[in-house]
Structure formats: structure tokens, C-alpha cells
Amino acid sequence: MKKNTGINGFGRVGLHLLKYWLDRNNDANFDINFINDDFLTIDQAVDNINKDEAVIFNKYKIKKIDSKIRILEPNGTVHEIVYTNKKKNEIPWVGKPDILFECSGKNTVRKDCLDFLTGETKLVIISATSWDADKTLVYGFNHDSFSRKYKVISYGSCTVNAFTPLAAFIDKKYGLENADVNVIHNIQKYRVDENYTLNRKFCTLEKSAVELLECINENNFVVNYTVIPYTGVSTIDYRFSLNNCPSIDQFLFDIEASIKDGDLHGLYDIHEVDIGPEVHNCSTFSSVFIKEGIKVIDDQVYIFSYFDNENSVNRFYDLANYICGK
């Protein structure tokens, strides 16, 4: 039987999650039955669904029916999702779903999520970094260590999901000596006008990687993270110093084989040439490597890649779907 779930927060993550689930709901281990957002009314939420330029819902017919969002699939299947526009402590459906997806970005501290654990709700999964969650689970890395004793789980972040499985593969295959990551990160459209210049920031990956990976520590890993006034697909470039560095031909063979049916399958993709960022909009992959940009110099491997940080919700979906199937 499918798990009953609800989303708190219907911004970029919530919007992508709804679309990703709709496209896969026949095989999903859960249904989305509730959505709450303390900022958006139901009319605004429906308008966002129908008019968003990045997350395209055009194969679905979506409208408001009283206090529900009604979604009609091309095959005639109908979904009705209860929508509320309440503050956290006033959400009327809290306690009804088996699992609550905390996607507002406002409740990333464990104690703030405990308020949701009432009635039938036994687990909260946060779509952001939480430093004191019971566990950070990254799909494709440690998701199978899920335990029912956990009450609050973090899925990490877009950069954590892009880096961690790759670094684990690199370390297992060649031995990782040190690494750094360069991220050029987009910004939401509504924030561009007030963020009109480059902004170097701390990235949660720099701390999360140390906690998640045995091969990474504070002395061998650096993240250069820059937010730019641009709304499209972001870039994430990796450098790894290796104990047993392969030739470029061997490395490409290994990485392509792993993407095809190994540890990296379903998580990453590789394209022969760079044809620009926008082709990767709403990519299902944590990052997409550009083959012509991969280099091996001495004991260093350099990997150029794109990632749609907004659609890193695909790994959130994978994690939630795995947990709901347990």
C-alpha cells in the first residue's frame, strides 16, 4: 500500500517535487495528498503550477476545486490534493500523512520538525541540510542505512547529492588524496534584481562532505561557491588528487561503465560535448559530465559538469520513494 504524504512549503522544491512525482506516480511508493504553504494562497499556487517557465506541467490539466488542487492526467487519472495556506502551528492536516516532506526551508533544525510528529506522522524528511537531523541520507551513497528509529532525516543538498556518490566512487576506485569543487550557482528569478553581482558564500557541502565521507576531512577539501545573478542551470566542477591515478582513457572507460550499470547509474550522465547549460534544465541527474572537459594531469582528475540545482529534488524523490517502499 502506498504511503500517504504531505508537503510543507510550495516554493521551488515543492513545485519540482510535485512534477517529479506526477510523472512517476504509477510506480511511486507514495501519494502526495496534502500541500501547505504559509505564503502562497491556493490561487497563487495553481497559477505558479500553470505558468512556471522552468517546471512544465503542460501535459496535465490543473485547477482549483474548493480547497483542493485537482490534477487530471492525459490517461484520465485524477488527483485531488488538499491545499492549505497556514502557519506551521495551524496546519489542519498535520498528523494525517505517514511522512511529511519539509520543503519550506524554514524548519531545518530537528526540534522544529518534531512538532510534525503527531498522529499518523512518523517521519519528517527535510529537503535541505540539517546539522542535527537524526541522519543525513544521500540516495546512491548511504540511503540503504535508513532505520525506522530515525524521526527526522535530511536529504543533504543539491551539492551534497552531486558530490558525495561521485567522491565515494573515486575513492573506492583510485584512492582519494584531496579534492576541491567549484560551484557557479544560479539564483531564483524573483531575487535577481536585488542580487546583481557575484556573491561568494559558504557552501553546506564543505561541512557535510567531512561528516559523510571517510576520505574527506577539513584539511583535504575545499569548496569554492559563487552565486551569480543568473536563473539558468548551474555548473559544478570537480578536482580529485588520486593515489593511483589512471590514464585519461582508463578513467573515461571506468566512469562511463559505472554510469551505464555501476555505482553511478541513474545518478550521473555524461555528454560528449558542451552544448550549453539550458539543455540540462530539469535534468534527472545529480550532475552531467562533459566528456571533452574531463582531463587527467599528473595525479589530478578534472571533471567539468552541469547540474540543475533546482531539480536536485529528483534525489529527494528517490530517497523518499525508497523509504516509503520499506
Hey, what domains does the chain have and what are their CATH numbers? Answer: 3-128 (3.40.50.720), 158-309 (3.30.360.10)
**Distance (Å, whole) CA 145 – CA 137:** 8
- For residue 114, the tally of other CB atoms under 10 A from its CB is 13
**Distance (Å, whole) CA 36 – CA 7:** 6
pLDDT (mean) for 285-300: 98
Q: What is the pLDDT of residue 201?
A: 93
Q: What is the pLDDT of residue 190?
A: 76
Q: What is the pLDDT of residue 188?
A: 81
Q: What is the pLDDT of residue 193?
A: 84
> What tens digit of pLDDT does each residue of 177-216 get?
999 999 999 988 778 888 889 999 999 999 999 999 999 9
pLDDT-derived band at 53 (thresholds 50, 70, 90) equals: confident
Is pLDDT of 83 > 90?
Answer: yes
Look up residue 207 and give its three cell numbers: 561541512
Look up residue 27 and give its three cell numbers: 510506480
Do β-strands 234-242 and 176-185 pair in parallel, antiparallel, or remain unpaired? antiparallel
Is pLDDT of 299 > 90?
Answer: yes
Write down the mean pLDDT value for the chain. Answer: 96
Task: Identify which of 139, 167, 144, 170 has the alpha carbon closest to the alpha carbon of residue 155.
Answer: 139
Q: What is the pLDDT of residue 35?
A: 98
Is pLDDT of 317 > 90?
Answer: yes
Q: What is the pLDDT of residue 62?
A: 96
Q: What percent of the chain has pLDDT over 90?
A: 94
pTM for this prediction: 0.95
The Cβ-side half-sphere exposure at 251, using a 13 Å CA radius, reads 24
Whether 17 and 127 have beta carbons less than 8 Å apart is answered as yes
Name 239's Cβ contacts closer than 8 Å, sequence gap at least 6: 179, 180, 181, 182, 300, 301, 302, 303
Q: What is the pLDDT of residue 189?
A: 79
Whether 318 and 20 have beta carbons less than 8 Å apart is answered as no
Bigger pLDDT: 305 vs 54: 305
pLDDT (mean) for 233-243: 97
Residue showing cell 585519461: 248
The dihedral sign for the CA sequence 54, 56, 62, 67: negative
pLDDT-derived band at 260 (thresholds 50, 70, 90) equals: very high
Question: Where on the phi/psi map is residue 140: left (φ > 0), alpha (ψ -120 to 50), or beta?
Answer: left
> What tens digit of pLDDT does each residue of 96-149 get?
999 999 999 999 999 999 999 999 999 999 999 999 999 999 999 999 999 999
> What tens digit of pLDDT does each residue of 159-182 get?
999 999 999 999 999 999 999 999
> What tens digit of pLDDT does each residue of 91-104 get?
999 999 999 999 99
Name 308's Cβ contacts closer than 8 Å, sequence gap at least 6: 233, 234, 280, 281, 282, 283
> What tens digit of pLDDT does each residue of 272-291 get?
999 999 999 999 999 999 99
**Distance (Å, whole) CA 215 – CA 232:** 32
